[in-house]
Amino acid sequence: MQDATRRRFLVGGAVTVGAALGPRVLRASAQAAPLKIGLVLPYTGVYAVLGESITLAMELVFARENWTVAGRKIEMIKEDDEMKPPVGIRKTEKLIDSDKVDILTGPVHSGILLGMRDKVHASKTILIVSNAGADDISRSKCSRWIFRASFSNWQPNQPMGAWVAKNVAKDVFIAAPNYAAGKEQLGAFKETFVPAGGKLIGEDYPKLGETDYAPYLTKIKQSGAKAVYAFFSGSDAVNFVKQFDEFGLKGSVKLTGAGFLTEPDVLPAQGKAALGVITGHFYTPLLDNPTNQKFVKDFQAKFGGKMPDGFACQGYDTAEIIVRAVKAVNGNTQDKDKLVDAIAHQEFDSPRGRFRFDAKTHNVIQPFIYVREVKEATGGLNNVVIDRIANVADPGTGCTLPA
Ligand code: PHB
């Protein structure tokens, strides 16, 4: 045997033996390999609660499937990106190059998603984004290997600009953390707020992970703004909403924002300071569709009464897509073209409504963006729907798939 041929035989041992024994044996041996799913998520830092919600909901779906799909055992490999782009990129490389994951999911932070994008694209790794909203991933940086089961930063915010101008106030101060997601979310708000007659009284970008918002709240108070529109999430959302109330602004300035400001991951810590806050989001656990009712019940039963939030819905949908697509290809994740095709065509009832990807961008089309107000409802603080906008799809400017 020539050296090169011998090496190939040894390296590709399982496949070569399988081929010699015939297709049925090959199928059985390929199916025996675990289905490796790599998670790049924050398990520490400002967005740790988001990473936890996504992970728990994925575990709920996989437990329902007895941790097996199409004969393959499901294995989750969790990596903490610590909210730091260089760490997230390093963990992504480890999952792709060393662990050789079949499918990748995460991250939460837009900067990390933008940082890992080229590695994912060049290695043809299938990534189902389970949070980070970086708009370019559905636009100039879209990839046939990347799907997004969460949102683009534009989606929950663009409809809110006109809504706030019409229904809340024309004089608005806007604020968000100083990084890609903050800039994009407020940019999307402005897109419809200004044409609807809104006037930007001021805007501020505190650092991600700020703990003292007093200087910003002072500026808001002095600005004469009638309302604030803000994007903060995780522990930033807890601090901002509580300090906004402690500062005495709640009586005179209406607080509005992207839904992440008052999701159930932060509502218990915010307490009554969150009452009356109006936000836009594709989900609330109060949605009365049967899939959501079962999801809320099962999630609470499995996780000690914890209320699922939008991040959990994203984790649920990510896991549901994986289970359905891997079943559709009979467990064969080697043929990536077929797997991409199977993922792109998934359509199912999600807790948020009917789930489907936009064929133009691989980004989810939100069945609705709900305008929600925090009220005392069904035994605690909840985001109650007060209005809704249907079929919100990212414009996808500059994306031409397959790319
Ligand atoms: C993001 O960085 O894209 C991001 C983070 C937290 C959120 C939403 C978006 O709640």
Interval 360-403: pLDDT, tens: 999 999 999 999 999 998 789 999 999 999 999 999 999 999 87
Alpha-carbon span 185 to 159, nearest angstrom = 11
Q: CA angle 263-150-204, nearest 5°? A: 60
Strand 126-129 relative to strand 103-106: parallel, antiparallel, unpaired? parallel
pLDDT for the residue 18: 38
Ligand 1 pocket test: pick from 116, 130, 153 the residue with the most ligand atoms within 8 Å of its Cβ.
153
Q: Going by CA atoms, what residue is nearest to atom 5 of ligand 1?
A: 109
Using CA atoms, how far residue 233 sits from 123, 237, 240, 328, 361, in Å, is 31, 5, 9, 36, 25
Residue type, 373: E
Q: What is the widest separation between alpha-carbon atoms in the chain?
A: 84
pLDDT for the residue 1: 36
Please work out whether the CB of residue 143 comes within 6 Å of at least one atom of ligand 1: no
pLDDT for the residue 12: 30
Entry pTM: 0.93
Q: How confident is the model at residue 131 (pLDDT cuts 50, 70, 90)?
A: very high
Please give the residue that has the higher pLDDT: either 10 or 149.
Answer: 149
Alpha-carbon span 130 to 67, nearest angstrom = 19
Task: Specify which residues 129 forms β-bridges with.
Answer: 106, 148
Express as a percent the part of the chain with pLDDT over 90.
91
Nearest to 310 by CA among 176, 135, 182, 133: 133
pLDDT for the residue 162: 98
DSSP type of residue 306: P
Please work out whether the CB of residue 110 comes within 6 Å of at least one atom of ligand 1: yes
pLDDT for the residue 363: 98
Query: To 10 degrees, the CA torsion angle through 383, 385, 387, 389?
Result: 80
Look-up of token digits 């662990």:
99
Each residue of 143-153: pLDDT tens digit?
999 999 999 99
Q: In this model, does residue 207 exceed pLDDT 60? A: yes
Q: CA angle 273-274-276, nearest 5°? A: 110
Alpha-carbon span 298 to 315, nearest angstrom = 14
Alpha-carbon span 106 to 93, nearest angstrom = 14
Please work out whether the CB of residue 132 comes within 6 Å of at least one atom of ligand 1: yes
Q: In this model, does residue 156 exceed pLDDT 60? A: yes
Among the ranges given (11-25, 130-144, 206-220), the one the predictor scored with the smallest mean pLDDT: 11-25
Look-up of token digits 């009220």:
375
Q: Which atom of ligand 1 is nearest to the CA of 263?
A: 10
**What tokens were used for 327?**
């079943």
Please work out whether the CB of residue 35 comes within 6 Å of at least one atom of ligand 1: no
